Amino acid sequence: GNRRFMRAPVVHPSEATGCPLRLAFALRGIPRKPPDIINPKLILTFEIGHSIHRLLQRRYGMLEKDIEFTPEVPIGPETSEIAERLCITGHCDGIFKHKKTGFRLGLEIKSISGKGFSALSSISDRYKGQATVYMACLSLPYMMFLYVDKNSSLLEPIIYDFEPERW
């Protein structure tokens, strides 16, 4: 039956500040769409985005000796009291850590079209919500959004400060 398409009753950081109905479905373990309905073009778009993530994460893993980079940092009941209490499970794209000072900076990679990149002026509220979840669960004071233009490979970093009122 449809049991094989059911998802675990958890909230992913990208869902936490979105549609309340979608949040309720997530907590009940109800999938958004069965996999056979997903558009093949959308699957390719996600695969390209994941490839960009892996490439950048690999590059950041080769940084100078004073900076350590950890990719795909898990968020869940085993890593965060907040995540456990709110049933949040997911991964932050990465965390930079300065070895001498201990300063930590979260990384959220967003690959976007050339048109979206040229119109980029700020971080959307949806993404701020997602970053706020990562920052609260991982005790991060700042998050760097790294926008990547899929057409030209241009990069645009934008630093986001934790906003307690958003949390």
pLDDT above 80: residue 26: no
Phi-psi region of 102 (alpha: psi -120 to 50; beta: other; left: phi over 0): left
- Written as one string, the DSSP assignment of 9-53 is S-B-TTTTTS-HHHHHHHHHT--SS-GGGS-HHHHHHHHHHHHHH
Which position has the higher pLDDT, 160 or 14?
Answer: 160
DSSP-assigned letter for residue 88: B
Average pLDDT over residues 47-57: 88
Residue 17: predicted pLDDT: 65
Residue 14: predicted pLDDT: 66
pLDDT above 60: residue 162: yes
pLDDT above 50: residue 1: no
pLDDT above 50: residue 89: yes
